[in-house]
A = this chain, B = another copy of it.
Amino acid sequence: MSAKHSRIDYTSVAGLPLGLGLVLLGQALEGGSMRSILQLTAGLIVLGGTLGAVLLSFSMTDIKRACSAMKTVFLWDGEPPAETVATVMRYATHARTSGVLSLENELPDVTDPFLRKALALVVDGANPIALREMLETENEKREEYDEIPAKVYEAAGGYSPTIGILGAVLGLIQVMQHLNDPSKLGEGIAVAFVATIYGVGTANLFFLPTANKLKMKARHESRRRELMLEAVLAIQEGLNPKMIREKLDGLAAQPEPIESRRAA
């Protein structure tokens, strides 16, 4: 969670320009000029329409959160599960040797707020059943909350291709009204098709993959909290550290949403 974990998400950084670039390269190789697919009006229709649909669909809070989530797509500050396991194992060993109450002194150093809260409740002597229920519910709500930015992009990726078709049909109407003027025909249709490209392209090269990456990261954070939750409950139960590690290793069998190399 802390800044020291901030790592560049190389697949995101590569994926967006790569997809766009190769498509445009293909277009250039076919002999198409860049200018023929830069169309202010098509952009206005597709992006404007999609923006309107997204605004009507969500609250300002959700949309702002979706915008800030872009940072998470490219720069990931999630902790690798192995590190989380190492951290909780340290507290487990500590609790085993000096007792659960001795964890109180460690609390200020716990950086993850979910873990700190859970350990604090253990120190306070919370009832184990109520504690599990409370932490599980909080984890679920948190995951639902964390998935909302993904939903915003998913909705945008659902609206934009159909609004692209809307733009295409609007363009075709103009074309049809100038059928007697064949010189305008081809170019007119070309203009109309650019809207389709914007709709399909933004959805498949940007909105939907972004939604997917955000969902994977929200899922990862949820599994990491689950891991802390199980560890804390096992600490409270007084399980021996070996058994706790056994349990956590089973739970930590999860891919990380990005590679482990650190950003400079």
Picked from B12, B14, B174, B250, the residue with its CB within 8 Å of the CB of A31 is B174
Interface of chain A, main secondary structure: helix
The reply to whether B200 and A165 form a contact with Cβ atoms under 8 Å apart is yes
A212→B259 CA distance, assembly (Å)? 26
The reply to whether A41 and B51 form a contact with Cβ atoms under 8 Å apart is no
The reply to whether A52 and B205 form a contact with Cβ atoms under 8 Å apart is yes
A177-191: which have CB < 8 Å to B?
177-180, 182, 185-187, 189-191
0/1 string, A34-56, CB within 8 A of B gives 1: 00110011101101111111111
The reply to whether B32 and A51 form a contact with Cβ atoms under 8 Å apart is no
Picked from B18, B51, B142, B247, the residue with its CB within 8 Å of the CB of A55 is B18
Residue in A36, A141, A259 whose Cβ sees the most chain B Cβ within 10 Å: A141
Residue in A53, A171, A210, A257 whose Cβ sees the most chain B Cβ within 10 Å: A53
Q: A138-B251, A138-B253, A254-B145 are in contact. Are A179 and B185 (CB under 8 A)?
A: yes
